[in-house]
């Protein structure tokens, strides 16, 4: 009896293994993004089926402020999210056990899709003119805030003499029109809409001073989640590598823009002109070290951060 029972159990196990296990192999991931084109590789991976073919069910969720993404990861509202490198590093510095599974867009001196946009009539034309002014940024401690302060310092201006306030991208035009701020550090498509409406003008494409090929967005997850789902984390990154290859083929430009437009709600005329950051799906220690140096220079980090422990392989 025991022998027959054992043989029956083995036969049942073999039969079960032979059956499709789609429900068991599919991993659900809620991914948090903000309204910038640096998430293009994620949008493409979703639209071209690169996640699905790797057994990932990825739900894309819009997050208004980039600086809130680490908290959403910590609370399990998101499994993976795209904070800027500085937001990610500040969260790690503050004690959150987060790691990186992939990267988003990269800096490039050819990109003029973000900059300092001053209110019409403000008279702001240079870094020096920002002293004493109120400037809106889409996330305190996020990419645009940190890089703008670096530009101010590089221009000989004490960024502590500038009053920064947090304001989501969609609010920028109204804040300028109402005079609530003197300028905003903004990005397309919002920057173009502001200048076309006459509410403001580009005072500086300060982004062109940044070194090339550094991450603008990184895709983070809780270390605990990655430890439990290592295959899903690798599959997510592999899907973005495939999406990056797709993006780099000129013949796919229309599809790439359509994917962007779907998730950040761009009208066709704006979509046709918006600049798309080069994709960087794989994060390197060198790229993170650049950000750590920038943030230490601005006294944003209190602890020693071991870069080698932050990037999953």
- 164 bridge partner residues: 135
In degrees to the nearest 10, what's the CA dihedral of 77, 79, 80, 84? 40
| Look-up of token digits 């789902």 | 229
- In this chain, the answer to whether the domains covering 27-106+214-309 and 114-209 adopt an identical fold is yes
Tell which CATH architecture fits domain 114-209. 3-Layer(aba) Sandwich (3.40)
Closest CA to 263 of 71, 38, 111: 38
Specify the pTM.
0.81
- 132-164 tens-digit pLDDT: 999 999 888 888 999 999 999 999 999 999 999
Q: Which two tokens stand for residue 220?
A: 């983070």
Tell which CATH architecture fits domain 27-106+214-309. 3-Layer(aba) Sandwich (3.40)
Please, which residues have CB within 8 angstroms of residue 112's CB and are 6 or more apart in sequence?
205, 207, 208, 275
Question: DSSP string of 74-106?
Answer: HTTS-SEE---HHHHHHHHHTT--EEEEEE-BB
- 250-299 tens-digit pLDDT: 999 999 999 999 999 888 888 888 889 999 999 999 999 999 999 999 99
pLDDT for 274 equals 86
| Look-up of token digits 């600086």 | 67
Going from N- to C-terminal start, the domains of the chain cover 27-106+214-309, 114-209
Residue 210 has pLDDT above 90, yes or no: no
């Amino acid at each position: 009896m025991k022998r027959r029972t054992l043989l029956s159990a083995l036969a049942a196990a073999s039969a079960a293994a032979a059956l499709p296990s789609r429900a068991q192999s599919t991993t659900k991931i809620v991914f948090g993004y903000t309204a910038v084109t640096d998430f293009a590789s994620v949008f493409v991976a979703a639209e071209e089926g690169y996640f699905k073919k790797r057994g990932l069910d990825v739900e894309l969720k819009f997050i208004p402020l980039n600086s809130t993404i680490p908290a959403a990861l910590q609370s399990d509202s998101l499994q993976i999210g795209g904070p800027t490198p500085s937001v990610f590093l500040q969260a790690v510095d503050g004690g959150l056990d987060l790691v990186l599974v992939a990267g988003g867009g990269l800096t490039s001196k050819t990109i003029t899709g973000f900059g300092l946009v001053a209110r019409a009539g403000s008279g702001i034309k240079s870094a020096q003119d920002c002293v004493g002014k109120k400037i809106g940024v889409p996330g305190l401690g996020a990419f645009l805030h940190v890089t703008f302060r670096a530009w101010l310092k590089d221009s000989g201006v004490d960024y502590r003499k500038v009053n920064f306030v947090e304001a989501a991208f969609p609010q920028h035009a109204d804040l300028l029109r109402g005079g609530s701020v003197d300028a905003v550090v903004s990005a397309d498509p919002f920057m173009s809409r502001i200048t076309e409406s006459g509410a403001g003008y580009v005072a500086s494409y300060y982004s062109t001073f940044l070194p090339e090929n550094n991450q603008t967005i990184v895709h983070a997850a809780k270390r605990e989640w990655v430890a439990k789902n290592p295959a899903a984390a690798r599959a997510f990154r592999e899907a973005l590598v495939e999406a990056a290859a797709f993006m780099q083929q000129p013949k796919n430009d229309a599809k790439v823009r359509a994917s962007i437009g779907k998730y950040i709600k761009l009208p066709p005329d704006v979509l046709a002109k918006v600049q798309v950051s080069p994709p960087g799906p794989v994060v390197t220690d060198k790229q993170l070290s650049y950000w750590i140096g920038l943030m230490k220079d601005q006294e944003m980090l209190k602890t020693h951060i071991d870069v080698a422990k932050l990037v999953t392989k």
